Amino acid sequence: MTVRTRFAPSPTGFLHVGGARTAYYNALFARRHGGRYLLRIEDTDRTRSSEEAVQQILDSLAWLGLSPDEPPVFQSQRMARHAEVAHQLLARGLAYRAYETPEELAAMRERAIAEKRPPRYDGYWRDREPGPAEAGKPYAIRLKAPREGETVIEDLVQGTVRVANAELDDMIILRSDGTPTYLHAVVVDDHDMGITHVIRGDDHLTNTFRQCQIFDAMGWRRPHFAHIPLIHGADGTKLSKRHGAVSVLEFREQGILPEALLNYLLRLGWGHGDEEIVPRERAERIFDLKDVGRGPARMDYAKLLHINAVYLRKADPEALLPEVMRRLARGGLMFGTEKAARVRALLPALQERCRTLAELAEAAAFAVTDGTPPMDAKAAALLTPEARARLADLAEFLSGAEWNRQELERWLRDYADIKGLPLKEVAQPLRAALTGSTVSPPIDVTLAALGKEEALARMLAAAEG
Ligand code: GLU
């Protein structure tokens, strides 16, 4: 059996981190077992679905590296097939026509609630043939669900879960307007797509019993199910916008790296000993559903930043450069190759100290301003008349230096020695003059990155005040 998994988002909004985690688990499980990972867009609810949401989901998945192994299946294009299966069940006597109007159903519901009974369909048409009164009337198709016994699921995460069939009523599979219900469409699609493992949020667990009844009625082999606990916010309620960023594209905007987000989401609800950093190649080798926890996971934004910082540090600076430049350009800082070279020279040092791409761009901004960047108050306070005079002197001294990091480091030390000053006293006003701030990468790196002409110009500008 070749493993086939699927991620099946409803395009009613952006891709949420919970969905991204579900997609990732499906992709990992398929990869681990040499199978395939598919995507189905569940867009049968035309009023709530939008083209824009479909595009956003596809973009988010592509950004995460979670595009499917086969072209996506659109559920709305398969409605004829859903109807066909419903009619097959009807023809085999495993489903029946039910003629209640929506008003009658609502009344049935209200009666049940008033009598404190669960609001289930009473099965009126289950064993009745339509008479002349029903001729030409619209009808829904309902599954003739088993009434005795239990429906049992061996869930790969939740263990054995069961429900008494008496508690499930005869669900509608095809509405009177000919459209399939969601539960029915999912079963037909999962079957036709050859899905062997359904890995999804545990909010779908109760649907699974009903879906299994359809699989069973059709005599189709049920897929294996794995229902993963939902993601909660720090306060223990279901994760929502109130808690902070929830959409994949928001995290992207904040400068989270896709591989870091995946690592974080993987660990949210799944563990392998206490390994925290589990890159994708490793996850593809060790991911196992038995290591998925049963309790809800809590979104921890600080932890995500920590993991992002780890990935940022390890990243190839060349791979980060375009994104950092894009952010700087978007911030209104236009620059050409010379300024890009400054950013490139700073990147390795900045990667050590920043947690996100947004922080990285912010920290690199000083290098691409035209002339001295705006000075913060702390930096301005360092530029006393004495410090300014020294900057002029230092500029003169450094103008003889060969302009690279090692040489500049040596020249600065020599200068401090000659003047009998601690290096810090030379470096701090210099940093203020070059960057407008009291924090920056090491001063030799900063000097070298700016280039001789720009660095000396900034020093002289600061010296003049
Ligand atoms: N479309 C459903 C959702 O977005 C998922 C259904 C499934 O995975 O079976 O929650």
- 329 C-alpha vs ligand 1 centroid, how far in Å? 39
Ligand 1 near 204 CB (within 6 A):
yes
Ligand 1 near 9 CB (within 6 A):
yes
Which pLDDT value is given to residue 244? 85
Give 10-residue mean pLDDT values along the chain (465 residues).
96 95 98 98 92 97 98 98 98 98 92 91 94 95 97 97 96 97 97 98 95 98 97 90 91 97 96 95 97 93 97 97 93 84 96 97 94 92 97 98 97 98 97 96 97 97 92
78-183: CATH topology is Glutamyl-tRNA Synthetase; domain 3 (3.90.800)
What burial class does residue 219 get, using C-beta atoms within 10 Å of its C-beta: 0-12 exposed, 13-18 middle, 19+ buried? exposed
- 182 C-alpha vs ligand 1 centroid, how far in Å? 9
Which pLDDT value is given to residue 249? 95
Ligand 1 near 10 CB (within 6 A):
yes
Ligand 1 near 42 CB (within 6 A):
yes
- Pocket probe mutation, ligand 1, options 5, 40, 42, max atoms within 8 Å of Cβ: 42
Catalytic entry in 116, 144, 238, 241 = 241
Which pLDDT value is given to residue 465? 80
- 200 C-alpha vs ligand 1 centroid, how far in Å? 7
Which pLDDT value is given to residue 333? 78
- 189 C-alpha vs ligand 1 centroid, how far in Å? 12
Classify 377-464 by CATH class. Answer: mainly alpha
Which pLDDT value is given to residue 241? 87
Ligand 1 near 214 CB (within 6 A):
no
pTM of the model: 0.93
Which pLDDT value is given to residue 444? 97
Tokens of 407: 């040489």
Ligand 1 near 186 CB (within 6 A):
yes
Strand-pair category, 159-164 with 4-7: unpaired
Helix/strand/coil (H/E/C) assignment for every residue in the chain:
CCCEEEECCCCCCCCEHHHHHHHHHHHHHHHHCCCEEEEEECCCCCCCCCHHHHHHHHHHHHHHCCCCCCCCEEHHHHHHHHHHHHHHHHHCCCEEEECCCHHHHHHHHHHHHHCCCCCCCCCCCCCCCCCHHHCCCCCEEEECCCCCCEEEEEECCCEEEEEEHHHCCCCEEECCCCCECHHHHHHHHHHHCCCCEEEEEHHHHHHHHHHHHHHHHHCCCCCEEEEECCEECCCCCECCHHHCCCEHHHHHHCCCCHHHHHHHHHHCCECCCCCCCCCHHHHHHHCCHHHECCCCEECCHHHHHHHHHHHHHHCCHHHHHHHHHHHHHHCCCCCCHHHHHHHHHHHHHHHHHCCCHHHHHHHHHHHHCCCCCCCCHHHHHHCCHHHHHHHHHHHHHHCCCCCCHHHHHHHHHHHHHHHCCCHHHHHHHHHHHHHCCCCCCCHHHHHHHHCHHHHHHHHHHHHHC
Query: For residue 203, which atom of ligand 1 is closest to its CA?
Result: 10
- 323 C-alpha vs ligand 1 centroid, how far in Å? 33
- 308 C-alpha vs ligand 1 centroid, how far in Å? 29
Delimit the domains of the chain by residue range: 78-183, 315-370, 377-464
CA-closest residue to ligand 1 atom 6? 8
Ligand 1 near 449 CB (within 6 A):
no
Cβ-contact 76, 50 below 8 angstroms? no
Ligand 1 near 157 CB (within 6 A):
no
241 is catalytic: yes
Q: How far apart are the first and last CA of the chain?
A: 76
